[in-house]
Structure 1
Amino acid sequence: MITDKINEQGNGKGGHTFTTREVVDLIHELKVKHYQLESQNDRLRETQKALRISHEKFMELYDFAPIGYISVRENGEIAQANLTAAILLGEERESLPGTALSEFVADDDKGIYSQFTKLIRNTISIEKCELKFMRGSETVFYAQLESGPIRYQELQGQEYRMLLSDISERKRIEEALLKEKERVQITLESIGDAVITTDENGFIDYLNPIAETLTEWSRDAAIGKHLEEIFKVFDDQTHQARTIPIEKCLKLKQVVTCTQDCLLRAPSGRDYGIQYTASPIRGYDNKVMGIVLVFSNISEVRTLTKQIAYQATHDSLTGLVNRREFEKRLARALKRTQEKGTVHALCYLDLDHFKIVNDTAGHLAGDELLKKLSHMLSSKIRSRDTLARFGGDEFSLLLDNCPLDKALQIANSIVAAVSNIGFEWDGSKFDIGVSVGIVEVTDKVLNPAELMSRADVACYSAKNQGRNRAHVYNSDSATSDTDHFELHRVAELSGAIKDNRFKLFAQRIKALDPELESQEMNYELLLRSVNKKGEIELPGDFIPAAERYSMMDVIDRWVIQAALRSYQETFAGGVPVTIGINLSGNSMTDVGLQQFIRDEFNATGVDPQRVCFEITEMTAITNLAQAREFILGLKKIGCRFALDDFGSGLSSFTYLKNLPVDFLKIDGSFVQDMVNDKIDHAMVAAINQVGHIMGIKTIAECVENEEIIDTLREIGVDYIQGFSIERPIPLTELVARKAKQV
């Protein structure tokens, strides 16, 4: 050092005088040292500046960090806090030092804080806790406190660093997720469908209670097992095991669905009809995390569906195939014939005398007979043949791959078996027969409807030949066209009855005596049919076929029932009304008709005196004894009778005294031209006179103008009927007219 050198020279004996050179060197050395000191000072100043800047940055980061930094003394007071901590606590930063941090902890969490502070005093690891803090006096927020192992000693004693974070939003999300999870859990536990979830490898991680019930696996036992071990499905038709396409669901990320013919077999061996959907579970990155399998027990639905399908194709009474299913099978048989040339036979069966059983023994007896016959007929045919009930007492039989001669043998055996069935009910024995029509099913026939029509023709031919026999359809028969036409009418009639397409019209019968007219009104009820086109058909269009094929008794009953059941709505109130109901010749020999009429009077409450039954003169003469008995039987309860078309027979007057009728309806053929034709005039006058002598009122039909009315009044005829009085109108119009009058 320079000073050392000076001292050394100065301490020398006798003193020392510095040379110029020495002084110069010393001065130079002093300058160098000065420069060195200045340089060190500059570096110190730079370091200080850097430290100051670094400190400022640190304090800025410290104050505005997203986390609150708090230094807490051993006594629990805050020593220092950053700006974020002050904001979180809702206080000015300067007011925090000296305040106990516990003052900001919510009351119900102070115990948690106390335990936390004890913990951090005795550990060097990082510790965390979650608790509620107060921001001001009212606002509560969720916070996380974290204390690390860094401790430092100050003058006041040991301090602890704590990190304070507002986790309110996180807690809100967690609570929302928890609620959603609970809601999903409750939903899965409560829904009626079974649910199984798996991981990405197909191993089960969840089953809901319905899945536990159907698979017969508890949740604890099933978790961790592969889905195919728990969920074993089979084909409902073949009972072969099915595999669940897990790979398709997991790797191809496709939904797999099975809605029919699927059985779930439980360990007990019980089978459940199910439908299922397996869908991939995707994460946020669209990666498949597993499968959710939803399935439901549709055993009852499937059973009900099968029952409905059976009911749709089978007759409920006999269990035989119904018309709809039979026609489908007939169509398939005809198609096989047209494609392969196979020959089949179609038989149409109509029971003889079945109506007698229903009318005398009741419908229960009729139903029992039909079931017995169905069982017997089924035993006469092969398993590949089809026997169907079309309704009522009509059956059809399709003999598969059967030549015509063999079909005739089978039909004849059926006729014999039905004749010998010997049906008894309540001590009464009934003789039953069957008429069978047979038609060959060949490729010459274009459609099933034509086959059925031909079988109908053959069946009715069997009936016309005496019933209780089989008849083979012959397309070359001279009567086939007529039969077809009439059968068309019969089919129309059957449809009209079944579909309620009959309608009643009413035509006024007017008394020529005004006083008599004021006391009572009279209407004749006339039957009309509505065809499938909605067109009205007159009796002449359908009655001949109905008479030939013994359908008039059904029509008569329909008319009687409809007339009596509509009487109250149509005619009750005001002037008493008598209605005229036409009966066919078949009714005279219908042993159950009188009782049927009595039952209808009882059911409807209509006064029998308000009903006049009309029978034609020809019907009465043809069945004189039965007609007299029929008339007398119903007159006992108050019914009246009119003899229709009187005068058309050659010996009308001869039989009149044997028929206790109340009215004579003079045949319209005499009335229409009586003004110009003396003979017609004389006939009308004679009929009127004879009727009055016998105490019978007269009604002139087909009255078309005022001249005829005046002439009839002169003769003394009691009532007139015809277009000049009133045209026939539907009963519904009468009801509307009555409503307007009210």
Structure 2
Amino acid sequence: MRIAGTVIDAIESDRIELFCQPVCSVGDLGEVRYFECLVRLLREDRQTHECPGNFIPSLERLGMMQCLDRHVVTRVIELLKTHSNVHLGANISAQSAVEDEWWESTFLDLAAMPDVARRLVIEITETAPLHAAGHAFVKRLRKIGCCVAIDDFGAGCGIETGSQIGSADIVKIAGELLAGSDDRGARNDELERLVLLARDIAPYVVLEGIESAQAIEVARDAGVDCVQGFYIGEPHSVAAYVQHEPREPMCDAGTCDSAGLPGHEISLMPLAQLTDLILETEMAHDASLPMTGAAVEWAVKLFERNADAVVEPMVCCKLRSFAKLAYVTGLTSSVYGKRSAIAASLRDEMAGVMRQGKEHPERSVRLLRCIAAFGRMHGELIVCSFGDGAVAG
């Protein structure tokens, strides 16, 4: 109770400080996915700090972790609002992961700030078992747009937490495993086993506790996506890092190139403008097909619904936009002809995407070509339907 009182006093007197540590791509250590914010309690002398291990256990034993966790998450949200170029992670205890009135105002604030929500990673720590209501808590966060990470997977209650949540965005494997055995082969086998388990829960796997170049090689061999540790970057004040512009950790709203396409902005033709071009094309070329525009617009909306149903939510938003562009390009080429103004306009836009993608992995460019071919096939079906006198849409 004495320690818990000290923490509450520190919150009230603004002596809770945040340090942050980078989480980087294992393939390119200069590529920061996000920064994990780490809590430090500034002692009354305001010169030295207490680390979490000295006060978190006491708060958890008293069931008071929500007091600290909500304070930290609020501070992190303020940083995200102030610095629009960073992505930050905030730790909360599994004990706090309950969808209740304590969190309601935070949920409402995040729902009103989607740009902030998508740059926030909530890391659920392993030090306490997850409540039964934890699944609803995680579902609410993800619906708002936040990323959810299971921290210290393989230690404490991490695996149990992961299995209870069932679906997260990131799993962070405990770095203790790297130093837990003198048998390197056994250690690597255990790490690979945990990576496979983690893949069943989340699409991104992070290995913590990286303190040497050798550990990075172990991480790469095990197949993790990202790494974190003192060798990658030591914890520093947030101010030391805020000028860094990390790439999107999972999803994006126009800057991510994790799928192999460039991270430059491209102006995708809005559906309203597309509809206007369709109407102009119909008036100029074939007024006998008054429902063609409605059929094309219906096809585009159907494609988007299908994409939302079958594509993982973590797939880059930009790739989704490119996929829509590829589909509409193929679709209009079949419906209106390759030489039509609308097809030519969309084809030029698609060619720009392809040119930018030449220096990047081929898999995404090939995917877009396949989607364009699918659009052409769908367009041919629409044309055949009109030819048989069928009514579209």
Q: TM-score range by the shorter chain?
A: 0.5 to 0.7
Q: Which residue of 1 aligns with 2:55?
A: 542
Q: Which residue of 1 aligns with 2:72?
A: 559
Shift in CA distance, 736/720, structure 1 to aligned 2, threshold 3 Å: closer
Shift in CA distance, 517/687, structure 1 to aligned 2, threshold 3 Å: farther
User: 1:564 Cα deviation (Å)?
Assistant: 0.6
Q: Aligned with 1:699: secondary structure?
A: strand
Q: In the alignment, is the contact (CA less than 8 A) between 2:99 and 2:134 conserved in 1?
A: no
Q: In the alignment, is the contact (CA less than 8 A) between 1:616 and 1:644 conserved in 2?
A: yes
Please show how residues 213-612 of structure 1 align to structure 2 within 5 Å: 486-487=1-2, 489-514=3-28, 518=31, 521-534=33-46, 535-570=48-83, 572-573=84-85, 577-589=86-98, 591-601=100-110, 606-612=115-121
Shift in CA distance, 675/640, structure 1 to aligned 2, threshold 3 Å: farther
Q: Aligned with 2:122: secondary structure?
A: strand
User: 1:526 Cα deviation (Å)?
Assistant: 0.7
Please show how residues 570-719 of structure 1 align to structure 2 within 5 Å: 570=83, 572-573=84-85, 577-589=86-98, 591-601=100-110, 606-617=115-126, 619=128, 621-623=129-131, 625-649=132-156, 652=159, 656=163, 658-672=165-179, 676-719=183-226
Range with bigger deviation, 680-689 or 644-653: 644-653
Q: In the alignment, is the contact (CA less than 8 A) between 1:672 and 1:702 conserved in 2?
A: no
User: 1:524 Cα deviation (Å)?
Assistant: 0.6
Q: Tell me the distance in 2 between the aligned counterparts of 1:523 and 1:590.
A: 25
Shift in CA distance, 492/617, structure 1 to aligned 2, threshold 3 Å: closer
TM-score normalised by L of structure 2: 0.56
Q: In the alignment, is the contact (CA less than 8 A) between 1:671 and 1:701 conserved in 2?
A: no
Shift in CA distance, 600/560, structure 1 to aligned 2, threshold 3 Å: farther
Structure 1: 5+ residue stretches without partners:
1-485
Q: Select the structure that is richer in helix.
A: 2
Deviation sequence 1:605-664 (CA, Å, 0-9, x none) = 643221111113454x542x3111111121111111111111125893796275211111
Q: 1:733 aligns with which of 217, 237, 240?
A: 240
Q: Tell me the distance in 2 between the aligned counterparts of 1:661 and 1:562.
A: 23
Shift in CA distance, 582/711, structure 1 to aligned 2, threshold 3 Å: same
Q: Aligned with 2:40: secondary structure?
A: strand
User: 1:549 Cα deviation (Å)?
Assistant: 3.3
User: 1:603 Cα deviation (Å)?
Assistant: 6.5
Q: Tell me the distance in 2 between the aligned counterparts of 1:595 and 1:642.
A: 20
RMSD: 2.8
Shift in CA distance, 657/490, structure 1 to aligned 2, threshold 3 Å: closer
Shift in CA distance, 651/503, structure 1 to aligned 2, threshold 3 Å: closer
User: 1:672 Cα deviation (Å)?
Assistant: 3.1
Q: In the alignment, is the contact (CA less than 8 A) between 1:594 and 1:630 conserved in 2?
A: no
Q: Tell me the distance in 1 between the aligned counterparts of 2:34 and 2:181.
A: 24
Q: Tell me the distance in 1 between the aligned counterparts of 2:165 and 2:62.
A: 30
Name the amino acid aligned to 1:613: I
Percentage identity across aligned positions? 27
Aligned residues: 244
Q: In the alignment, is the contact (CA less than 8 A) between 1:564 and 1:600 conserved in 2?
A: no
Q: Tell me the distance in 1 between the aligned counterparts of 2:173 and 2:198.
A: 10
Q: Aligned with 1:724: secondary structure?
A: coil
Deviation sequence 1:405-455 (CA, Å, 0-9, x none) = xxxxxxxxxxxxxxxxxxxxxxxxxxxxxxxxxxxxxxxxxxxxxxxxxxx
Shift in CA distance, 632/505, structure 1 to aligned 2, threshold 3 Å: same
Q: Aligned with 2:22: secondary structure?
A: strand
Q: In the alignment, is the contact (CA less than 8 A) between 1:569 and 1:735 conserved in 2?
A: no
Which one has a bigger Cα radius of gyration? 1
User: 1:675 Cα deviation (Å)?
Assistant: 8.1
User: 1:585 Cα deviation (Å)?
Assistant: 3.0
Q: Aligned with 1:583: secondary structure?
A: strand
Q: In the alignment, is the contact (CA less than 8 A) between 2:26 and 2:220 conserved in 1?
A: yes
Q: Tell me the distance in 2 between the aligned counterparts of 1:651 and 1:492.
A: 28
* Larger relative contact order, structure 1 or 2 (CA cutoff 8 Å, min sep 6): 2
User: 1:716 Cα deviation (Å)?
Assistant: 1.3
Please show how residues 116-195 of structure 1 align to structure 2 within 5 Å: none
Q: Tell me the distance in 1 between the aligned counterparts of 2:98 and 2:75.
A: 21
